[in-house]
Amino acid sequence: MLLPKNTTSEYRFETGQKVLGSLLTWVGIIVLIYCILLAVGMIGTGFKWAAGGREGAERLFAFATNPFMGLLIGIMATALVQSSSTITSVIVGLVAGGLPVSAAIPMVMGANIGTTVTNNPGQSGPHP
């Protein structure tokens, strides 16, 4: 492509700006994904701390072996955090840490039901 002499430097400058902008966009996306993963890890650590460490987690696991209690745990946790995806991510981490899958399934189902619990109070208000 033949360009006039005076526009070659302008063309290079604009191309450099586009490349730099694209690079900064991708770096920003990677940083944001890292922040999301860090936040989910912090939530998991907070749940472990709130449960009382390893002993508390073992008590929670023993309590959650009843499917109905696991369902209620999932509903209450989602209602508190207001994010079933976060609760499901924490449950996946708990399964990796030793929670039986048979106890995790009712919790995930409860997390999905808990999403409707967070939605209903907004719909039950007065309607004009």
Q: Which of 123, 50, 40, 118 is nearest to 79 (CA)?
A: 118
Q: What's the pLDDT at 10?
A: 65
Q: Give the span between the Cα atoms of 92 and 41, in whole angstroms.
A: 12
**Region at 53 (left for phi over 0; alpha for psi -120 to 50; beta for the rest):** left
Residue 114 vs residue 15, higher pLDDT = 114
Q: What's the pLDDT at 108?
A: 94
pLDDT band at 100 (very low <50, low <70, confident <90, very high): confident
Residue 44 vs residue 6, higher pLDDT = 44
Residue 55 vs residue 124, higher pLDDT = 55
Q: Give the span between the Cα atoms of 57 and 74, in whole angstroms.
A: 15
Q: What's the pLDDT at 116?
A: 83
How many other CB atoms sit within 10 Å of the CB of residue 61?
Answer: 18
**Direct distance between the N- and C-terminal alpha carbons of the chain, in angstroms, rounded to an integer:** 65
The answer to pTM > 0.85 is no
Q: Give the span between the Cα atoms of 108 and 95, in whole angstroms.
A: 11
